[in-house]
Amino acid sequence: MCSDLLMKRPKLTKNIDIKTFLDYYWLKSELIQFCKIYKLNTTGNKFDLLKRVQYFIETGNKNETISKPNSQKYKKDSLNKLDKNSLVLNYKNDKKTREFFIKEIGSHFQFNDYLRSFNNRIIDINNKITYGDLIQGWITYENEKKSLNIEKEIGKQFEYNQFMRDFFKNEKGKNRQEAIEAWNFVKFLPGKRDYDSYKKKLTWRPRE
């Protein structure tokens, strides 16, 4: 089934329609191969690759905001004294950064998913994001979690984790192999790749 679905998907080229690209699941190896063919940066995690490929398909231009540090320009921010006006250029979830946030936010501070999204990423200086902005972002993120009283959302790059969690929550008595087979079924179909979509797509069959 999965191999059939792979064969039915459109080819990933620079001419693919952006909506089609966003509708389908792409393997990290496919994204890397795309980047190699079109001379794009191949570094970063899967989310970085997805955004880079999306930007290229939409604009035809290379977005090299995320790149491999290769000069003094990219030394980690925490090597300098941090304050609220410090620009976020090369953010790290390290000891000195933690100490800064504890000082500004309080002893209850912990790194959360909002801050982890900046970790090990080179930020374009033109974006002018400051550590004061990160503080406000952290506070907003934590307040939203409390006010909505919902489970912590897993980022799009962790769709698999979200699907597996929801599968076992709803499919009592099913084992891990069955969960993996369900994920392999839904991930290559167009549209969302979550448990609700899986249930709706059980009757879906690829066109001949």
Domains of the chain, by residue range, sit at 2-59, 72-148, 156-202
d(C-alpha 207, C-alpha 196), whole Å? 22
Per-residue pLDDT of the chain (208 residues; tens, 9 = 90+): 444 545 567 889 999 988 888 878 888 889 999 999 999 988 877 777 888 898 898 888 876 554 444 444 568 899 999 999 998 888 899 999 999 999 999 999 999 888 887 776 666 655 678 899 899 889 888 887 776 554 544 455 567 778 888 898 898 888 888 888 888 888 777 777 788 888 877 755 444 4
The answer to whether 18 touches 57, Cβ cutoff 8 Å, is yes
Phi-psi region of 128 (alpha: psi -120 to 50; beta: other; left: phi over 0): left
d(C-alpha 202, C-alpha 30), whole Å? 26
